[in-house]
Amino acid sequence: MADCGVSFMEAKRYYVTAQRERSRAGYRRTMRRQARVRIIILAVILSFAIAGGLLAAANATGGMENISDCNSEVGNLTALAVDQQTQEVQDAVSQQTQKVQDSASQSASQEQQGTPVDVTSVPHIFFHSLINDDRAFEADVIGQDRVAANNAAMTTTAEFDAIIQNLYDAGYMLVSLDDLCVKTTGDDGQVHIAPNTNLCLPEGKKPLVLSEDDLSYYHSYGIGTQGYATKMVLDENGKPKCEYTDADGNTSVGDYDVVPRLDSFIESHPDFSYHGARGTVALTGYNGVFGYRTNDYYKDINNPNLDPDQVKWLQDHPDYNFDEDCKNAKAVADAMKAEGWTFASHTYGHLNATDTPLDKLQYDNERWMATVEPIIGPTDKIIFAFGADIGPAGGYTSDNEKFQYYKEQGFNIFCNVDGNIGWTEFGDNYMRTGRVALDGFTMYQAMTADAGTHHIYATDYEKLGIHDISSFFDSMRPTPIESE
């Protein structure tokens, strides 16, 4: 108890004095004094427990917010000491406050002295929805074309778990797209982008950006018949999870896709996330989002814009309520944002932005703003469907009409697909990153020496610290795997 900085001998002195006082009035005064000191000593001991706990939490997470909370708690106890007018306790609390401030300074210094990040070379990996069982590969049930698409573009839950563990073991730590850049607004209202030169990670950690495309549970995914989750839901604790229906028709809620699976991994491995960073989810709008049919076309089964799959779904779901689906989808989005996830446009109609004329991209974006933004809120990120960019490497130019349009609509961060992992480009008013998919096609190419693009993807996986793909490549996959 000597480290407390509070003299317990002082309490003893009060006690001895009380025994020596013979007058009743003197004795009562001493007892009041003694009780007051005991209360204050208890308050200070509690302050050490609270401050120590908060400091431990702050150090565990690497965040400075918890240290600020600790300062606030000690400040409250300081006020208590002043009210009690006990100089010894005030001195003790001052000493504890100094300890907290010293620890805060040390924590900030350690972060600044950590590993500086070259934000132009941060790997950006991505996934689509995860496959949970072998129904995704049953050609006699779902057709060969669907099997080929599932096999090439998707990752199984077992493969995802192994990949994330490999990345963690290699020293990677998730950062957000926003961590890579600094945004400032000029006098003209224009947003300017610059590399974040102050981003530092703990010693031994390397940065990694992650995204997931098409978290909509399209009708083409079979809705409970191809091994995918069917929708995002909230569990009893308000955490984002997935609903999944197995081959026997049993429905359960759990970690059946990227979002809840990664959240659970970070919960047990908090040093895989820099300041709570998660990934960025790229959303289209034509089938709704998160498995909810939030496209307003669904409100009328006779709407001529509905395709046959959408009409059939409405016929199969006569109790569908548009407003209820929008409400539930927004609750999921809010819960995801609270966990650290961010969102991006993937275009409303999953369009190839390279080939699509500007006027059609404009209409598409208007649809996205009308049907997706009300669910997820504003975003300044666009992840191009198919990885199809609106300009070549080397920079977006002022005469690029598609770029100028998206900038006018508030987009600052642009993401394509690039076979060379770890590529980020900065212009005065944008940031652009190249992504690499970790899916059936790239895994097969990387592990197969005579595959056509083996050298490209083998290098990518090697850079990521993923060395033995064959050890977790799912045996239920048919091979060879061709690109979509």
* Tens digits of residue pLDDT in 166-182: 999 999 999 999 999 99
* pLDDT given at position 340: 98
Average pLDDT in the 331-356 region?
A: 98
Q: How deeply is 242 buried, as exposed, middle or buried, from its count of CB atoms within 10 A (0-12, 13-18, 19+)? A: buried
DSSP string, 133-192: SGGGG-HHHH-HHHHHHHHHH-EEHHHHHHHHHHHHHTTEEE--GGGGEEEEE-TTS-EE
Share of the chain above pLDDT 70, in %: 76
CB 373 within 8 Å of CB 283: no
* pLDDT given at position 112: 52
Q: How many of the other CB atoms lie within 10 Å of CB of 304?
A: 6
Between 206 and 115, the more confident residue is: 206
Average pLDDT, the chain: 84
- Relative to beta strand 229-234, strand 155-156 is unpaired
* pLDDT given at position 274: 98
pLDDT band at 57 (very low <50, low <70, confident <90, very high): very low
Measure the CA–CA gap between 330 and 362, rounded to whole angstroms: 25
pLDDT reading at 200 higher than 50:
yes
Between 96 and 373, the more confident residue is: 373
CB 415 within 8 Å of CB 433: yes
Amino acid, single-letter form, for residue 244: Y
> Which residues are CB-contacts of 313 (< 8 A; sequence separation ≥ 6)?
219, 223, 293
* Tens digits of residue pLDDT in 116-138: 999 999 999 999 999 999 999 99
CB 248 within 8 Å of CB 150: no
Q: Name the helix (H) or strand (E) containing 437.
A: strand 430-437
Average pLDDT in the 18-37 region?
A: 43
Phi and psi at residue 114, in whole multiples of 5°?
-75, -160
Whole-structure pTM value: 0.78
pLDDT reading at 90 higher than 90:
no
Between 26 and 148, the more confident residue is: 148
* Tens digits of residue pLDDT in 378-399: 999 999 999 999 999 889 998 9
pLDDT reading at 1 higher than 80:
no
* pLDDT given at position 142: 97
Distance of CA 451 to the CA centre of its chain: 34
What residues are paired with 233 via a beta bridge?
A: 241
* pLDDT given at position 95: 53
**Pseudo-torsion of CA 222, 256, 378, 185, nearest 10°?**
-130
State the Cα angle at 344 between 127 and 438, rounded to 5°.
Answer: 15
Average pLDDT in the 74-102 region?
A: 45
DSSP code at position 329:
H
> Which residues are CB-contacts of 219 (< 8 A; sequence separation ≥ 6)?
287, 309, 310, 312, 313
Between 29 and 367, the more confident residue is: 367
DSSP code at position 129:
P
CB 113 within 8 Å of CB 201: no
Measure the CA–CA gap between 280 and 263, rounded to whole angstroms: 13
Measure the CA–CA gap between 474 and 438, rounded to whole angstroms: 13
pLDDT reading at 251 higher than 60:
yes
pLDDT reading at 66 higher than 60:
no
pLDDT band at 58 (very low <50, low <70, confident <90, very high): very low
Q: How many of the other CB atoms lie within 10 Å of CB of 58?
A: 21
CB 122 within 8 Å of CB 175: yes
What residues are paired with 323 via a beta bridge?
A: none
- Relative to beta strand 430-437, strand 423-427 is antiparallel
CATH number belonging to the domain at 116-471, selected among 3.20.20.370, 1.20.120.140, 3.30.1130.10, 3.40.50.720: 3.20.20.370
Q: How many of the other CB atoms lie within 10 Å of CB of 171?
A: 17
- Establish whether the linkage from the previous residue to 374 is cis, with ω within 30° of 0: no
Phi and psi at residue 410, in whole multiples of 5°?
100, 10
Q: How deeply is 343 buried, as exposed, middle or buried, from its count of CB atoms within 10 A (0-12, 13-18, 19+)? A: buried
Between 95 and 80, the more confident residue is: 95
Q: Which two tokens stand for residue 371?
A: 């049907």
> Which residues are CB-contacts of 91 (< 8 A; sequence separation ≥ 6)?
5
Taking only Cα atoms into account, the Rg of the chain, rounded to an integer number of angstroms, comes to: 29
Q: Which two tokens stand for residue 23?
A: 């007058």
Between 6 and 307, the more confident residue is: 307
Q: Domain spans of the chain?
A: 2-112, 116-471
* Alpha-helix residue ranges (DSSP H) falling in 236-301: 258-268
Q: How deeply is 150 buried, as exposed, middle or buried, from its count of CB atoms within 10 A (0-12, 13-18, 19+)? A: buried
Measure the CA–CA gap between 263 and 415, rounded to whole angstroms: 23
**Pseudo-torsion of CA 364, 367, 369, 375, nearest 10°?**
-130
pLDDT reading at 206 higher than 60:
yes
Q: How many of the other CB atoms lie within 10 Å of CB of 153?
A: 20
Please tell me the least confidently modeled range out of 92-101, 135-144, 335-344, 450-459: 92-101
Q: Which two tokens stand for residue 397?
A: 């130019």
Residue whose tokens read 């896709």: 257
Measure the CA–CA gap between 127 and 417, rounded to whole angstroms: 12
pLDDT band at 59 (very low <50, low <70, confident <90, very high): very low
Measure the CA–CA gap between 236 and 313, rounded to whole angstroms: 28
Long-range contacts of 314-321 (CB under 8 A, 24+ apart): 320/293
pLDDT reading at 12 higher than 70:
no
